Structure formats: structure tokens, C-alpha cells
Structure 1
């Protein structure tokens, strides 16, 4: 076995099934609360899912952290985005200072935010941004593969290691987000390949682009996939040929969380690509991931169906950064309050009958 093969093996741990016993116990506990069965809808589903992941009924969700991975994309030079790439570096510093969307929402939900540079096309001097840069941006995948396979391995490992450190620090629940101009283009390419979906069905407007630019964006993705023919059964092949550093790192964080039985809340469209990648590498990951929201990007319904996950809500969000994931923490706090404060049917001497 070569060193590279050995490193790949480390990124594909055996993912244990979630605890059906804990899920059943949580369902019984919720059904015994003084309310109609199923009366709290998806909040109840959320509690049952968390119990299965954590393997316990007494949920531990107080200490939480959002990992925001940042990287730039060579394909941005094809004019697929209305936003210039320099914004990635600017927003990373702004986020680390606590002034971006996810940072503001995290404060409201008692969540730490870690900003990690895995591929920004600039030197970030701000020490508040964690430097795990693989290199300064990916290649333009119309000209050459986005990255080497070795870089793809290092990228996923970086995300795994950051998540492992966050768990070691005592975090009981993780959120993931991202920064990267043109990453909806890259995510569309990865999703189309990994989930075998038509390119035109999954390429959206991203940063609110014109019809002309949207058509160009679809053409760019189709040409990139046709040129490199990534193998959908080999996640690292897809990542290396048409992927992005922030997406690979997010997938690594998902793999780590699942291996440690820690719930991970994913964000929107870019997270869909990361989950598709993680699932291709380690089947069973999706059972450990909580889908926060359905984005307004193209193909969301079909993508989520393919991934086998159901989002908690749809607020029409399309900001990225992990904003939707952090908003979900409020729902977790809501169901925790229900579990801790509601009386039971036995306490009230009431029995709801069909």
C-alpha cells in the first residue's frame, strides 16, 4: 500500500449505524408528553434524530461550534459569478471579526465560529483566521483538474482534523459553512457528477446572475464534466477534477462528526455537494447529518431526495456561510426546552385516544 493509499484509507472510517434503541426511547418520551402525538411536528423528528446520533435520550447540545471553510476557485475566471474573488478574503476577515451573517446569527444562538482558510487566493494576515491553506485557489477546471488527488486527500483531512479538534474542545454539536466566490458553479459540477443529475437541473443563479450568465455557467459546468469525466463512485476523483477546497474540507468535517457520533448541521447548496462527496467516500454519513434548510438554488428538491435528507425549514435563504445551520440551533434549543419542561400525560392523568 502506498502512502497516498494509506492516507485515503484513514479518511474512510467505518461509520456505525445510529442507535435505533435511543431513537425509540426518545420517541416514547416525546409521545408521553402532555400534547397530541406528533403535535410538535418536525421538532419531534429532530429530537429523535439527535438521540440516534448521540446514542442517548438526554441530549447534549449546549456547546456548539460552526466551522466555516474558505477557498477560491480557478473557474471564477470564466465569469460565472457576478462577485469578484477578492470578496472571499475580505469576507473571511469580516467573519472572523464577528460581522458577517453567520457570525451575527451565531451570537444569537450561543455558537462559536471558526473561520478556516483552506484555499483563499490571498495571504490572510489576520490571526483570527485559521491557516490550513492547501494552496491559493483551485485550478480553472476548463484548463486542468481543479487539484491533484494528493491535494484532495490533504483537503479532506484538514476538514476532518478541524472537526476533531472542535470535538476535543468539548463541542457537542457542529455546524458547517463556507466562503468561496463561484462555489455554486463548482458545487453544481460535483452534484451533477456524484448524484447523476442533469447539469441544467442543478445549476442555479448563485449570486443572482443574469439569464445570459446563467446559460454561460451551465455551459462551463457541462464542458468541465465532459473534459475530465470524473468517476461518481470515487469521491476523491470528483473532488480533484471539478471540486473546491472548502467543499472537500466540509466533507472531511462530516466524516469526522459521524465517526465520533456528534451531530453535524449542514447548511445549504454547497453543503449538499459536501454531503454527496462524504457519502461517496463513507456510505452512511447522511444519517449523522441534520439538514437545516432548503435553499432557493436550482434542483434543491431533487438533490435532497437523492441525498436522502429532509430539511427542517425553508426561509428562502441563499447566503451560505453556515447561516441556515446556525439558525437550526434555535430549533434544537426549542425542543430541548420542551423535553426539560413539559409535564407528561401520566402527570396530568390524561390519555389522548384515537
Structure 2
């Protein structure tokens, strides 16, 4: 299936399933809309899955791993070797998100979509497009064909998750330098000032932040990515992890698999997916407010409302994984809770 065919086949949410889910929430013996945003999320999950019978027991976090050539410009305090180390640790089950995912009962699926080094050991899905992107301070990050290939990897990964029986997937990433790529992509998508969308990433000094802003500014001036063409933006100043995440959101919408946005990098990819297919906007489930400065602008552009505000900036999908526990609790009440009829309680009436 071509990317164009995927974009054409993404359906709207199932309005009838959502109406039935809303009716069921209102029949439970609790104040109307007592769980607030959590009720709304489960209603949308019913629309995504096209059934009011909600089951979120089988969970996964997909972590797209890739290197960014722009690290050669000194925009990160870590070297590319860290991407290899953490990717292999993801495969071993020892990275940060792995511990958090086990607590949430979720599997971790790391995908090498563009790590600069060979990845050793088991547990990593090997779908490498190239050994990292080019340094976009010197040349475009990748070709347009490579960007499409990476998006296709994301789409295929979402479809495989559905085939393997997962009910919900969190989106994560790993790649030194990817907050720089994300800042460039966000500035291009939103036509926003670079200094407004560029943060310290994993911990830059003030001098390093100035250098990072200068690198992104010059790259955008030199390559002139088309604001209305997400693939052009991704190919010129993006990363393979961003492309893969874009495809994950598209594939999730195509096959009715709820996909949870993590932080700023996943949010930028989600906006790329929405720009490619506006229907995808209704499928997005936001997890947490990111500490990166571009986060608020991306949330506004996506019209999403994250419900966790913990000042997180870790990556790997950790913020999205935290939402699993909240959704499990809400789904338990949704599935097992007593109704007003069960409890011999007079039903609450909506206030005018």
C-alpha cells in the first residue's frame, strides 16, 4: 500500500461507538463526567477501535531509534555513541522506559530506523534506513525517498502491532540530537521563530543553546523547507525517528489502534501526520506536557490537551507510558462499575 493510499483510507472515528460509550459512562453510579478527561479519552478510544467494548490489557511502547548528523555542530552534550548504548539497552530491557513499562504491564518494541552504529544483541527490530541523517547544517538531512521509506516503516510497525494483538501503543524515541531536528521541524511547520521553539534538550549550557538556535536558523534559511509539505520539511531538517513516528500515527489511524503521544518529538511527528491527513487529529491521545518550549505551541496546533503535568523531559516514551496506569484504572471502572440500576440509586440528571 502506498503512502497516498494510506492517507486516502483513514476513516473518521466511529460516532455510534462513541455515543454508546458516552451512554455507558453516564449509566455508571457516579457523578456525570466524574472522571473528566479520562472519560473523554475512553470515549474517543471507542471511536478509534470502532466498538464501545474497551479492552486495553495488551499494551506496548514503540521506540523509534535514530541518530542525527547535526550533532557534529556541538548541539548536544552527548555523543552519538549514547544512541547505540541506549538502543541496545532498550533491546535488553534495561533502559529507563523498560522499567516503567514493566510496572505498567507493557512491552517495549525498539526499532532501529537510523542508528549510526550497528546494533548488537536481541530485542531490537532492525529497519535501518541509513546510518543516521546527514548534518543538515551542511546538506539536507535525507532524501525525500528516504523520508517516505521511514514513514512507511512507522505505518508497517503500527499494522504489525495490531496484528500481534496490542490494544494500545505509546510512542517513544531515542536519538542524540533529535531535539534539534524537532526544533527545526516545528519552526518550519508553524512558521515560528527558532528561538521560541528551541530548548536545552538533555541539558545544554546557555552557550550551547545559542549555538543550537544558530544552527537551526541557518539550516532553515539555507534549505527553505516548504511549510505546507511535511515530507519536504522532514527530509531537509528532520530525523528518521521523526519520520517513523509520523508513520506510526498514520498507521494507528488506519488500523484503529490507539496511539499515545509522548513529548515534544512525538508531538512534532503527530503534527506532520495531521498535516498529511487532517483526519488523524481525532485519533491523537496526548499524555503529558513536555518541558521543551515547543511543547505548548505544538499542543495548540494539534488541539490536544495532555492530562499529566510532571515537568518531564526524558524521552523514550516515558510520559506516554505513565498514562497507561490512568487509562487502566478508568477502563476498569468503565468495564466493571455498577450502574445506577445495579445500585438502586436514582440516576443523575444533566444540568442545564
Q: TM-score range by the shorter chain?
A: over 0.9
In 2, Cα distance between equivalents of 1:300 and 1:112: 26
CA deviation after TM superposition for structure 1 residue 269, in Å: 0.7
- The offset of 1:8, in angstroms, is 4.2
Structure 1 residue 312 displacement after superposition = 2.2
Match of 2:329 among 312, 316, 334: 334
Are 2:202 and 1:207 equivalent residues in the alignment? yes
Partner SS, residue 294 of structure 1: strand
Secondary structure class of the residue paired with 1:284: helix
Separation in 2 of the partners of 1:8 and 1:263?
20
Using the alignment, how far apart are the partners of 1:11 and 1:234 within structure 2?
Answer: 17
Report the Cα offset of residue 26 of structure 1. 1.2
Computed over aligned residues only, the root mean square deviation of the Cα atoms, in angstroms, reads 1.4
2:9 is matched with which residue?
14
Within 2, Cα distance between the matches of 1:214 and 1:324? Answer: 24
Counterparts of 1:118-133 in structure 2, within 5 Å, are: 118-133=113-128
Q: Which residue of the partner structure matches residue 115 of structure 1?
A: 110
Comparing 276-285 with 176-185, which one deviates more in the overlay?
276-285
Query: 2: distance between equivalents of 1:113 and 1:245?
Result: 19
- The offset of 1:62, in angstroms, is 1.4
Q: Is 1:258 equivalent to 2:237 in the alignment?
A: no
User: Which deviates more from structure 2 when the two are superposed, residues 81-90 or residues 158-167?
Assistant: 158-167
Q: Alignment partner of 1:314: what SS?
A: strand
Q: How many residues align?
A: 349
- Answer whether contact 1:11 1:157 (CA < 8 A) is retained: no
Q: Deviations over 1:66-91 (max 9, x none)?
A: 11110000111111111111100000
Match of 1:3 in 2: none
1:46 to 36, 41, 50: 41
- 2:196 and 2:228 mapped to 1: Cα distance? 21
Offset of residue 236 of structure 1: 1.0
* Partner residue in 2 for 1:294: 289
Consecutive unaligned residues of structure 2, counting only runs of 5 or more, are none
Query: Does 1:271 find its partner at 2:269?
Result: no
1:197 matched to 2:173: no
Structure 2 CA distance for aligned equivalents of residues 30 and 127 of structure 1? 43
- Distance (whole Å) between structure 1 residues aligned to residue 156 and residue 187 of structure 2: 28
Contact 2:183-2:294 within 8 A present in 1 as well: no
Deviations 1:254-287 (A, max 9, x none): 1111001111111101101111111122221121
The answer for the alignment partner of 2:158 in structure 1 is: 163
1:7 Cα deviation (Å)?
4.3
C-alpha separation between the residues in 1 aligned to 2:337 and 2:167? 23
